[in-house]
Amino acid sequence: MVDNLTPVLTKRWLSPRSWTLKTYEQLEGYTALRKALTAHPDQLIQQCKDSGLRGRGGAGFPTGMKWGFIPQGDGKPHYLVINADEGEPGTCKDIPLMMADPHSLIEGIIITSYAIRANFAAIYVRGEVLHVIRRLHAAVREAYEAGYLGKDILGSGFDLDVVVHAGAGAYICGEETALLDSLEGKRGQPRLKPPFPATAGLYASPTVVNNVETIASVPYIVNGGADWFRTMGRERSPGPKIFSLSGHVERPGQYEAPMGTTLRTLLDMAGGMKDGIPLKFWTPGGSSTPLFTADHLDVPLDFEGAAEAGSMLGTTALQIFNETVSVPWAVMKWTEFYKHESCGKCTPCREGTYWLVQILQRMVRGEGTASDIDTLLDVCDNILGRSFCALGDGAVSPITSGIKYFKHEFLALCDQNSQVLAGASA
């Protein structure tokens, strides 16, 4: 039986000055790189496939398979781009990881670049996290000075340059093709797929885009092996995962547990609900994943478990709300977010989020009618699956799931025409 918490990625965070190369090297840092450079790149891709590692940015795509899509011997430059544009509401795992342990990401980048034969990698980090950007820049500089980056890394003949690239405040750039456009110095708007980044990504060359937590997991897989990685988690969602608990819990924070753990287990470790006020609703993986309620405390939080229960694992950002919070109000706030962040490229998302906000604000003001609920669902139906990228799909999740579980609260707003439920109390 595996322990309730399995610190792998988070273990080094407790060490003094954990962000420095010195500390990192004292704690097995860059041993995986030395080992990886003795292997054939295709062995590393195979090992990643064998480990079952799936993308930690929300979609859960098998990482080794993604690496394997890069055409080899095509004569084009290959690129690795790290999606560090963490901004999905509730999500707060990559920021602390990069702040506390930037070298684990950089070591993962070097190994991955070697595997996919990339000689240039970029870390696209959101701009609002200056301390993280500072630490990443310093870690990259230290890695160059120590010979882990640059020409002929550790005498292997492999060259790699890494750049830290600060974004400028656009949630949509977390979408991988919008991120690539943004990295090319353009407006961050998603591209039509296909072609996929694996064939035409950055500068129209084969590109792997992976999340921070995904790539930071790679050195451990190299050192421990695929079978070791699979001792944690479940068959189709193996490995450890950082679960971020926020909101009305006694001790919010970062808890690294095997995939498939439950909110009940996590809540227990986090001291339960704050002040004992009962749980009302929560997101399993950020605001784009449909809401869960107190009935979902025992849902195994992995890709399959969350999906079977009607939601998605997303980024394992567990935002937890107690009975004092109005669901329509929360849904309105999230919808305002999606409206603000909609890039404007496609009509269903641009126009749909605009009108959803208008309707929800009217309902929360107490001026709604019961037919507004039908209108909301109708607009959602016109956005879901009809938008250019997943932002539109995410935007309807809080609304449809909110109405599914808490329709009475929306109806109550219409009946009373009052603001009794309209605000959240602290």
Partner 1 sequence: MSTSEEVYAASPLDPVETHRLVTENPAAGGAGDQTIDTSVFDQSIVDRAQAIIARYPQSRSALLPMLHLVQSVEGYVSQAGITFCADQLDLTNAEVSAVATFYTMYKRRPCGEHLVSVCTNTLCAALGGDEIYAKLRDHLGTDGKPLGHEETSGEPGTPGSITLEHAECLAACDLGPVLQVNYEYFDNQTPDGALDLVKSLQAGEKPQPTRGAPLTDFRQAELQLAGFFEGRDADLDGPSAAPETVRGAKIAAERGWTAPAMPEHAEFPPLPEKK
- The answer to whether 405 contacts partner 1 (rule: CB under 8 A) is no
Q: How far is the CB of 295 from partner 1 (least distance, A)?
A: 21
Region 231-270 residues binding partner 1, contact defined as CB under 8 A: 231-232, 240, 242-247, 251-257, 269-270
Q: Who's near 337: CB < 8 A, 6+ residues apart?
A: 89, 171, 287
Whole-number Å distance between alpha carbons of 335 and 330: 9
Given the complex with partner 1, which of 95 and 153 has the nearer CB atom?
95
- Dig out the tokens for 417 from the structure: 């025409």
Instruction: Pick the stretch among 225-233, 306-314, 347-355, 389-397 that binds partner 1 (CB under 8 A).
Output: 225-233
Contact 308/376 with Cβ under 8 angstroms?
A: no
- The answer to whether 46 contacts partner 1 (rule: CB under 8 A) is yes
Q: How many helices (H) and strands (E) does the chain have?
A: 16, 11
Cis peptide before 194 (omega within 30 of 0): yes
Given the complex with partner 1, which of 148 and 329 has the nearer CB atom?
329
- The answer to whether 227 contacts partner 1 (rule: CB under 8 A) is yes
Region 100-139 residues binding partner 1, contact defined as CB under 8 A: 100, 120, 126-131, 133-135, 137-138
Number of Cβ atoms within 10 Å of the Cβ of 298: 11
With the C-alpha atoms ordered 32, 35, 37, 39, is the resulting torsion angle positive or negative? negative
Q: Which of 90, 103, 102, 95 is nearest to 25 (CA)?
A: 103
Choose, by CB under 8 A, the member of 307, 370, 420, 424 that binds partner 1: 424
Scored b (16 or more CB within 10 A) or e, 176-189 reads bbbbbbbbeeeebb
Contact 414/422 with Cβ under 8 angstroms?
A: no
Given the complex with partner 1, which of 77 and 366 has the nearer CB atom?
77
- The answer to whether 299 contacts partner 1 (rule: CB under 8 A) is no
Given the complex with partner 1, which of 77 and 150 has the nearer CB atom?
77
Given the complex with partner 1, which of 325 and 357 has the nearer CB atom?
325
Contact 63/214 with Cβ under 8 angstroms?
A: yes
- The answer to whether 67 contacts partner 1 (rule: CB under 8 A) is no
Q: How far is the CB of 55 from partner 1 (least distance, A)?
A: 18
Choose, by CB under 8 A, the member of 207, 287, 316, 397 that binds partner 1: 287
- The answer to whether 42 contacts partner 1 (rule: CB under 8 A) is yes
Q: If binding means CB under 8 A, how many residues of this protein chain bind partner 1?
A: 105
SS3 content of the chain, % helix, strand, coil (to 5): 50, 15, 40
Instruction: Pick the stretch among 8-16, 104-112, 379-387, 400-408 that binds partner 1 (CB under 8 A).
Output: 8-16
Given the complex with partner 1, which of 71 and 385 has the nearer CB atom?
71
Choose, by CB under 8 A, the member of 33, 198, 215, 330 that binds partner 1: 330
Q: How far is the CB of 371 from partner 1 (least distance, A)?
A: 25
